[in-house]
Chains A and B, each alone.
Chain A
């Protein structure tokens, strides 16, 4: 008799736990896709000069005007959403010094994760992590080696990571106390998965090339004051549609 009772309990309690929604957004650039400028490789030219390095500040897909590297996350600061605590996933995320550029360009992490900075290159690199709340560090990573950084505290904004030996190398680390964040791909698409459904959540949008404040969503003008917007998350897929970013909001260099 116990078994059906437990099963019933499970069924009753399930919707409350399982009701989550995903948020999908497509980011498009209003202007012409800029040609990313070539990097003037003046250090370790023999190695770094082998691959064609580009300034990655603003990458717009010439085929569909999709904007890469737009970051969207649930904003939990003052005036933001109140989320139930999410246990740390304790993932290990890799930021590679790969052919004299950082891969990926943007790392999204949750507190409790470990950032593994690797160097598969044949030349030495360093990683200058300008953290605000975590321990600020700037260490060397010899060729073929790796270093680990514990991400213990959340950060108020994406944190720049530079290699000063090769000053063109730039990347960003986003550290949040929850996993609800995503970065857009080369088509300008991103999906944040598993959001708590049934409530209006506050999101923040970030792009390194400028502030995203005024946008056009599915043809309608909207103001994202302080780069924030709200979405009433329903169970299942929530497709915000196409968000067009005005050309003068982002600059390629």
Chain B
């Protein structure tokens, strides 16, 4: 729908026409309607208004709290708006230049090219990211997002932007944080409006309407959400997962470690083979989905392949549900990086938003978790698998 509008606007006014507003998160509203048994229409509309007052528009962004170290307004301005460049070569409209075709203006992952991709582009609005150095439930650090932009994500459509000016990459990191924060605030405000402020078919009583100023019950709710989401981003560097030292082994020592790692892989504690299949060949049957998909399917009691039931969600923009598959570990492609530190974090934290669970780190073997040395053995085995076919 957005694409059709964009194309129409381009024909009539030219592609630099102003875009006055972000689209509301209709898919999330529909999911809420299903779980809460209440109309989300008024809540969605009021949330759209309030979030626009706080975060501005695709052409004119603003940052609602004085925590500017999260996102610099100059960077947001440079990343937003139509694509153009100045005499000195400064690029403007960076997000629309590099990102919008997949991630869409809202960072919803519903861009024009999204349907052709597997996996789908990330929807930033959940505030959940898979490839990062922090604890499972925490936001990524700026460095994590930067690494993704610079390196891309192997095995997916996400390309490397290593050739883009580093200052432009920095500006885009800010803009990703902006879109994610804005989108998560919008989601939480819609939910809080229904759950706490009695929004439904009718507006709530006086003083309970959503308000971007910190006034009345409705304003309080908005500011609680705002402060929580911003605090989650601000504190995330305190939740980086430390990685113990890893030694590069060769020859017999490496072979022995790989052999031990194979035992761990198939063992009862890690049980990697339970999903990734014997020898990590991905041969086991799975019927699971990621959290982005579950939100409009299994979590609200809809069967993902029930096209009829999903119709309203698809019309609101939801992508056709796809199963999530455990990584086939042979073949050498790790979406989140195959270096020892990344694999250590993935094994000890799991992967946010996905079925991949975490293994506890223990100091002595106790049948409940793995020791650091056992994890390194496992890492070496998995790295070894990735070079076999």
Contacts and interface: CB of A to CB of B under 8 A. Distances in A.
Interface of A: 42-44, 57, 77-79, 123-124, 126-128, 130-131, 135-140, 142-147, 156-157, 160, 162, 164-165, 167, 208-213, 225-227, 249, 251, 253
Contact of A140 (B196, B288, B301, B358): B358
B359 A139 contact: yes
B198 A226 contact: yes
B367 A225 contact: no
Nearest to A77: B196
Given A43-B285, A78-B217, A211-B35, A138 B357 contact: yes
A226 B357 contact: no
Contacts of B196: 77-79
B198 to A, nearest CB: 6
B360 A139 contact: yes
Going nearest first, the 5 A-B pairs with the smallest beta carbon separation are A211-B37, A164-B355, A136-B137, A124-B271, A126-B357
18 contacts: A43-B274, A130-B291, A131-B137, A137-B136, A139-B350, A140-B269, A140-B357, A142-B367, A160-B299, A164-B357, A165-B274, A165-B275, A167-B287, A208-B301, A211-B38, A212-B37, A226-B194, A253-B301
B36 A226 contact: yes
Interface of B: 34-38, 135-137, 194-198, 200, 217, 221, 268-271, 274-275, 284-288, 291, 299, 301, 303, 350, 352, 355-360, 367-368
A78 B355 CA distance: 33
Q: Which applies to chain B's interface (DSSP): helix, strand, loop or mixed? A: loop
B350 A147 contact: no
A128 B287 CA distance: 15
Contacts of B34: 211
A145 B367 CA distance: 7
B357 A225 contact: no
Q: Which applies to chain A's interface (DSSP): helix, strand, loop or mixed? A: loop
Residue of A57, A123, A138 with most chain B CB atoms under a 10 A cut-off: A138
Contacts of A131: 137
B323 to A, nearest CB: 10
Contacts of A146: 368
Contacts of B137: 131, 135-137
Residue of A42, A77, A124, A131 with most chain B CB atoms under a 10 A cut-off: A124
Contacts of B198: 79, 225-226
Given A138-B358, A165-B271, A253 B303 contact: yes
Contacts of B271: 124, 140, 142, 165
Nearest to A251: B301
B355 to A, nearest CB: 3
A102 B288 CA distance: 18
Given A78-B221, A226-B198, A43 B284 contact: yes
A63 B186 CA distance: 46
A222 B4 CA distance: 45
Given A123-B274, A130-B291, A140-B358, 15 more contacts: A124-B271, A136-B136, A137-B137, A138-B357, A142-B268, A142-B271, A142-B368, A144-B367, A145-B367, A145-B368, A165-B271, A167-B287, A211-B35, A226-B198, A249-B37
A125 B106 CA distance: 37
Nearest to A250: B301
Given A210-B37, A211-B36, A226-B200, A156 B368 contact: no
A59 to B, nearest CB: 14
Contacts of B221: 78
Contacts of A127: 357
Contacts of B37: 210-213, 227, 249
A249 B36 CA distance: 12
Contacts of A142: 268-269, 271, 367-368
Contacts of B301: 57, 208-210, 251, 253
